[in-house]
Structure formats: C-alpha cells, structure tokens
Structure 1
Amino acid sequence: MNSSAPATHAAAETGAPIFTREGGPWLPDDYAAGPFRGLYGGAVAGLVAGAMEEHAVSEGWGTPLSATVLMLRPAPVAPLVTEITTLQAGRRNAVAECLLKDEAGKIISKGHAIFVKPDAMPGTRPLTAIPTATNWAGDPATLPLWANGKRPEHVNFLHILEMREERDATGKPGMRWSRMTRPLLPFASLLATLFTAADNASAFWLSSSGAWPANFGFPNVDVSVHVSRAPQGEWIGVTPDAQLHETGMGMSEGALYDRTGLVGRTCQTNILVPRG
C-alpha cells in the first residue's frame, strides 16, 4: 500500500507477503505495482486465485484443477476486497467464484476455479504418457537472468519476481523459469504460484520470437491455468507460444513445468494497443 515515505528496494529482501489482511480488505504493498499504472497483472490474478484456494482449503475441497481470472479494469495500489461464492460443491469436485473489488465496490477482476478431491483408482494406469523431457536436475537459479526482464527504477512487482532463461548452444532461448522472492499471500497457494508465472507467457514468447512490438502494448484481458497435479517447489517453467494478428487480436499460451516435469498449461487472450 502507498505510504507517505516511498518504499525502498531493500524492502524486497524481506519475507513479508505482498498482500496482507487483518480482518478487513487486502492491503497491497508497493511491490504489487506494475511497471506502468496500477497493480501487476500476475499479482492481481494470483490474489484472486489464491483467495479461492484459501476458501477451498477451509471447505476441504481438495486440489485445484483449473482457474480463470478476468482482468476487467486496472487494479489500484489501494485496499481491495475479495468476495467468494460457492457455485457448486459435490462429493468429488467443487467450483468457486471470486469478485475482486475496490473500496467503492467497483469490480476490478473476476475469477472462478475448480477443485477436486483425489480418489484412489485401483487397477487403473495412466492413459497417456506424461512428458518428462524437462525433468530438470539442475537449479534454475544458476541460469542467466531473463534478458528482457527489465526492472524500472520505481518499486514494482518485477523487483521481487526472479526470471531466468535456458539457452541452447546457439544462444537460442528456451524455457523461462520464474519464482517469487517474497510470498504473494500470507498463506501457501499453489494457484498463486502458478499465476504469477503464467501471466508472463506473452512477454516470454515475444522476447524469444524477436517480434516484440515496439510501438504497441499487448495486455491480456484474462489468464487461465489448467493443471493435472500440484507443482513441487518454488520454480515454475514456461515454454511459451503466441499468435498475434494485424487485427489487434491475439492469444498466448504455454506449457507449465516444475523441476520434475509437466504440470499443466496456461492460455490468455491478448489485445494489441498503440503506445504513446
């Protein structure tokens, strides 16, 4: 949350969560901000998804399978309120909805998530082979920092999101890895971890394709994550892809990995908008 005294970069080294809450609204600190106006998209999506996961844990709903978050308008660096609704709660699966509002009641973002209770299936076997080519024996922290992960001087989310990239022998970029150096929320959330990485799929693809549009922005109006299992560890890898068109429409996507293999996929809708 903004204060009379500006935050310092040293604050990024603390272990305090980016969003805090003490019986009232969520309070973002200055590191929740984006490089431009309002909160960083991955921070907003992570908050909405994490709030639904917190509710699912309290209800005993099991593991998240998928979630989608709509970005309806820029989120201010100011107190925010989450409202959770149970849409369905069955024996195996449940669905929650979350509205993120500012203090005046204006809806900033909306999300829904599906949760499932794992159940043993004796006598069955995997129906498809799970790719394990990226079973990463190394430590992503030893990779070079993402070359395009520029961090503006003013305090913002990119200062506490560590992003690194694999490159082959020719220097061609491959998978991008990212992790939070501070927790997003005051509790553990698998969805929050995934969304903070998945939200960067567009930027990751544009940087590797050489197609970065200098005179255009490429905001995503939504972001979805689908997983087949819970990720392990703090690092999430993304192999990005995208299709951006002269009509100003586009879509980006990516496979999501942890250091043991494939976790799931992400997809988001992009619109191109002129800058300046």
Structure 2
Amino acid sequence: MSTGIDHPRSYYERIDERRYKPTLHTSGAWNPDEQHFSPLGGLITHAIERDRDERGSALAVSRISFDILGTLALDECDIRVEVIRPGRTIELVEAVADLGGRTAVRARAWLLTPGDTASVAGGEDAPLTPPDDLEPWGMSELWSGGYIASLDARPVSSPEPGRGTVWLAHTLDLVAGESAGPFASFVTHVDAANGIAVRRPPTEWMFPNVDLTVHLHRTPEPGWTGLDTTVTFGPEGRGITSTALHDLRGHVGHAQQILTVRPL
C-alpha cells in the first residue's frame, strides 16, 4: 500500500475520523523506513484528547502509558479510543493504534478532575536554563530519520554517556490543519529522551524502548519541551531511561522507558 507521504508541514494527515497518514517527518531513528514513536505517541494522545473534548469532559490527562508491540510501519494508522472506567472526577481511557492492519500500540490514560491546589503546590525540580540562552545541537549527526531532522534541539550542557538535558521544539503541525492540545504536542517530544543521553553509540548497540509512561503534576504549556534524562544499562540486557519533564514555566512531571539492550 502506498503511504502517500508527501506533506511537508505536518507529521500526519487525516484520512477520516480514525485513520491518519504519516509523512516523512515521522520516519524513525533506528530505521528510516519505520516511524519514530515520538510523533505516534503525540498522535495517540491527540486522539484521546479529541475524544474527551467531543464527550464534553473537562478532565485532564494526568498519566499516559504506551506499550509498543513491535516495529512501527511507515503506514496509515487507525486509532480506536474507548472509555473503560467512566466517572465524573476520574476516568480511565484506552487507545489502540493499528498500523497496516496490525495492532502496534496500546495506550491507557488516567484523566483526573482539575482543581485549585496552588496553596499546597511544591516539590518540583529546579527550572532549566531557558532554550533562548543555548546553542543548537545537530541531533541528526547522531541519529537518522525525518523525525529527528524536524527538531530544534538545545542542550543545557554537553551530553555525556547516560546523561543529557536538552530542550526540544518543532514547527510542524501534529495533524495537518488541526490544532493539537498542549499535552499532545508535549508528548510528541518525550520519546526522544532515549536518544539524548546515549550510553553507547547507536551504530554499535541497539537500545530501543518497548514502552513509555508519562506522569504529570500539571498540564504543560505549548512550545519547548525540556528533557532532563538519565540512562541506565543493567548487566542482563535491560536498561531504563528516566526523565524529568519541563516546560518554560518549570518542572511538569516524569517519564520512564524500559529498554532492550543488545549489540548490533
């Protein structure tokens, strides 16, 4: 099947209510003939938020977890969203994404009621140096693919093996002609955390993640996403990428990825 990947200003184009067509900007870092999970995670989040808005819910997506069930074909995506635990103050929503007729990702999101807790807020990490004060970093020198090439990356300090703190932004629409919510736009960057603090060269070792979980203590603002990331490799073929998440206001939450580590 032809993907028709020809739109230069978005990651996806809508086909119908549930189906989307990827552009070359989604192509992956490990294999440019596959999708990078970052834009696909943003698209799934967008579908969840769109379903919530259409149902008239005011709940905020506060945790989302993705299980990546295999390679992500550079093919059209069909996303189904279902509320599996309805409620006025708490909901659990599931989204299933099929690529090329095969289930590729299952996601679950907890939506919680917003409220005014400013008087007891606290415990956040210190803010990062703003991206306007930093120099660009060419991530495409380390990683291939259209997704990485679409990013503006600004490291807070020089990345080291297993440690990196980087701001990311892009100028593309998530879906052509549609306005994505701030959380969906934010998630579009988060999976890239595994690529900013590499422990070993990706030309010698593979360390793809098979999941991504994001927890938020407030809704991120649109624009730059700050990733303060540590990567750990264990002695038994597994690793963990742990990230403190920031926007320009400060710390907003955390992300975790489990890695399968093996030599090429």
Shift of 1:163: 1.3
The DSSP-based 3-state class of the residue aligned with 1:125 is helix
What's 1:217 paired with?
206
What's 1:241 paired with?
230
Task: Report the residue type matching 1:215 in the other structure.
Answer: E
What's 1:85 paired with?
82
Shift in alpha-carbon separation, 1:259–1:81, aligned structure 2, 3 A: same
Shift of 1:242: 1.9
Task: Report the residue type matching 1:193 in the other structure.
Answer: S
What's 1:54 paired with?
50
Alignment match of 1:150 (pick from 117, 141, 149): 141
Aligned residues: 253
The DSSP-based 3-state class of the residue aligned with 1:201 is helix
Task: Report the residue type matching 1:32 in the other structure.
Answer: T
What's 2:155 paired with?
165
**8 Å Cα contact 2:228/2:245 also seen in 1:** yes
Aligned pair 1:69/2:58, yes or no? no
What's 1:253 paired with?
242
Shift in alpha-carbon separation, 1:243–1:125, aligned structure 2, 3 A: same
Shift of 1:110: 0.7
RMSD over aligned Cα, in angstroms? Answer: 2.5
Q: For 1:67-216, what aligned pairs fall within 5 Å after superposition?
A: 67-104=64-101, 106-120=102-116, 125-126=119-120, 128-131=122-125, 133-134=126-127, 136=129, 138=130, 140-150=131-141, 156-167=146-157, 175-185=165-175, 186-206=178-198, 211-212=200-201, 214-216=203-205
What's 2:252 paired with?
263
The DSSP-based 3-state class of the residue aligned with 1:54 is helix
- CA separation in 1, counterparts of 2:22 and 2:202? 30
Gaps of 5+ in 1: none
- CA separation in 1, counterparts of 2:156 and 2:66? 28
- CA separation in 2, counterparts of 1:241 and 1:156? 25
Shift in alpha-carbon separation, 1:152–1:236, aligned structure 2, 3 A: closer
- CA separation in 2, counterparts of 1:119 and 1:205? 36
The DSSP-based 3-state class of the residue aligned with 2:228 is strand
The DSSP-based 3-state class of the residue aligned with 2:214 is strand
Gaps of 5+ in 2: none
**8 Å Cα contact 1:71/1:222 also seen in 2:** yes
- CA separation in 2, counterparts of 1:80 and 1:211? 32
| TM-score normalized by the length of structure 2 | 0.85
- Give per-residue Cα distances to partners, 1:98-121, cap 9 Å, x unaligned: 1101343x1011101111221346
- CA separation in 2, counterparts of 1:117 and 1:142? 36
Shift in alpha-carbon separation, 1:213–1:18, aligned structure 2, 3 A: closer
| TM-score normalized by the length of structure 1 | 0.82
**8 Å Cα contact 1:61/1:93 also seen in 2:** no
